[in-house]
Amino acid sequence: MGELADEWSAMGRTNLWGAVPAVVEMQIEAGAADTLHGAIKRGAMGTTFTASQRLLLMLPNMFKIAGELSPTVIHVAARTLATHALSIFGDHSDVMAARSTGFAMLCASSVQEAGDLAAVAHAATLETRVPFLHFFDGFRTSHELNTVEPIDADTLRSMIDDRLLSEHRNRGLDPDRPALRGSAQNPDVFFQAREACSPFHARVPEVVQQMMDQLASISGRQYHLVDYHGATDAERVVVLMGSGAGAVREAVDALCAGGERVGVAVLRLYRPFPTEALLAALPPSTRTLVVLDRTKEPGAPFEPLHLDVLASLWHSPSTTWVDGRTPQVIGGRYAAHWCGLAHRVLADRPAAGRR
């Protein structure tokens, strides 16, 4: 992503406003995040690209950017963090390490979605003032060669509201309009300010869906916060996000053709977690949910997505489900053999109490 942006800048390729974006390469990602932070605080539209350990170097600035409600998007080709060894495995451990920063998190499952949801993220961050982390699987998606329909400039332009852009620029630091930023606060005032950002985050799911609907009206490609695929009366449903979604959909189609009652729910918005959208997407007949994470969190009772799904079901009314019985939730991690795993977890009928 960075290489292409650098190439386009060198070629003099202009953005939507006729300007050639400046591409600045720093020594490390901490410097890149510093530069991004400074640019957007001045009122510029900025973005950056990263993955793995380098995303962790951006975390201090990400907390500041989100706390200051500064619109921006960081695009991440999700990849594992070095633990006992360095690896280029494309799991989600890097983006999961950033889930407490306050960034909204949007996940693409394919090459086409990566382009489409990037546009959704940039439009939604201006509308909500909440910064976005747009991610997709490293290598499996980021290096895939496929046929896509790129979003043209006119479509992009129609998704950007000039009023919101002007408001962002007017909030930028300016020596002619002095303003205090980055003060030190005592605990009582600090926590009030932390809670004051809650309404901004609460708007994110609604705005993201609006942007997805707007993109659909222009391109014909419809996305939702959670997309369900499979039998309308499914008893066993897989919940996941990322590039494994395509393989699971194929497994679901094959099993449904054989008379099985199965389905898959693909999450696109991960933060703020779309509890209502997930519950609305799941068939009332669901008896078992298999939540597939693509990361390992040592010491935790369950992986991150598994915990979020459990919390969502805990708050669901019993009338949501047939016979008032909340579905059993089973967790799992998938890696190189996720296609076979998806087929097994859908085809096997778990025994009572099975974990």
Domain coordinates in residue numbering, the chain: 2-219, 226-347
CA-closest candidate to residue 104, choices 151, 71, 57 = 71
Helices (H), 198-274: 198-202, 204-219, 244-257
What local confidence, expressed as pLDDT, does residue 348 receive? 57
Strand partners, 264: 229, 238
Cα separation, 250 vs 258, in Å, equals: 13
CA-closest candidate to residue 94, choices 286, 288, 294, 237 = 294
226-347 has the same fold as 2-219: yes
Decide: pTM greater than 0.85.
yes
DSSP string of 43-73?
A: T---EEEE-THHHHTTHHHHHHHHHTT---E
DSSP string of 118-163?
A: HHHHHHHHHHH---EEEEEETTTTTT------PPPHHHHHHHS-HH
What local confidence, expressed as pLDDT, does residue 30 receive? 92
Cα separation, 289 vs 24, in Å, equals: 45
CA-closest candidate to residue 129, choices 66, 198, 61 = 66
* pLDDT in single tens digits along all 355 residues of the chain: 888 899 999 999 999 999 999 998 888 899 999 999 999 999 999 999 999 999 999 999 999 999 999 999 999 999 999 999 988 888 999 999 999 999 999 999 999 999 999 999 999 999 999 999 999 999 889 988 899 999 889 889 999 999 999 999 999 999 999 988 888 999 999 999 899 999 999 999 999 999 999 999 999 999 999 999 999 999 999 999 999 999 999 999 999 999 999 999 999 999 999 999 999 999 999 999 999 999 999 999 999 999 999 999 988 887 789 888 899 999 999 875 444 444 455 555 544 443 3
Question: Which CATH code, of 3.40.640.10, 3.90.76.10, 3.40.50.970, 2.160.20.10, is assigned to 2-219?
Answer: 3.40.50.970
CA-closest candidate to residue 216, choices 141, 123, 105, 120 = 120
Cα separation, 310 vs 324, in Å, equals: 16
DSSP secondary structure letter of residue 177: B
3-state secondary structure of 289: strand
Question: Which CATH code, of 3.40.50.920, 3.10.129.10, 3.40.190.10, 3.90.1150.10, is assigned to 226-347?
Answer: 3.40.50.920
Asked if 33 contacts 101 with a C-beta cutoff of 8 angstroms, the reply is no
Strand order in the sheet with 47-50: 47-50, 73-78, 132-137, 104-107, 269-271
Residues 6+ apart with CB under 8 A from 164: 126, 127
Cα separation, 241 vs 219, in Å, equals: 23
Task: State phi, psi for 291 to the nearest 5 degrees.
Answer: -95, 120
